[in-house]
Amino acid sequence: MAEKAIPTENKTNTGGDHDRVAIASRLPDGTPHQTNDFEFIGDQQVAIDAAKHQLREQAVSAKDVELRGAGTAEADADASKPDPEVQKLIDAHEAAAKSAEGKAEAEVKSRSKG
């Protein structure tokens, strides 16, 4: 069975209406998977909380892959060995998560009307 292609960029609105969403769907790199001119609607705090959660999880996962190759064959083979750099990873995760949460809040506020 053929694998489904994962989109890598936002759609461009070719005129007319634009996407209005309560919670954004995300591309693998974390960018919103709506047209470039999309707008958040509904409760702004709900959208902020959802975007923070989405971007936090993605940032932490990306940091894991970057720092120790989590999810790679080599990392999976060594999964039972103690990791002497756990605190380094935790610190990097927290920094990435904090940065992602700030990005999420700014994104929702900049695309909310009213």
- φ/ψ (deg, to 5) at 32: -60, 145
**4-33 core/surface letters (b: 16 or more CB in 10 A; e: else):** eeeeeebeeeeeeeebebeebebbeebebb
Between 31 and 4, residue with greater pLDDT:
31
Phi, then psi, of 59 in degrees rounded to 5: -65, -40
Q: How many residues does the chain have?
A: 114
pLDDT above 90: residue 61: no
On the question of pLDDT at 95 being above 90, the answer is: yes
Instruction: Give pLDDT tens digits for 9-22.
Output: 555 545 667 788 88
* Euclidean distance between CA atoms 94 and 112, whole angstroms: 27
Q: Tell me: the pLDDT tens digits for 30-56?
A: 888 888 788 888 888 998 999 899 999
The 10s digit of each residue's pLDDT in 63-80 is: 888 887 766 666 566 665
Helix locations, the chain, DSSP H? 44-68, 73-77, 86-111
pLDDT value for 1: 46
pTM: 0.52
pLDDT greater than 60 at residue 83:
yes
What span, in angstroms and rounded, lies between the C-alpha atoms of 62 and 29? 9
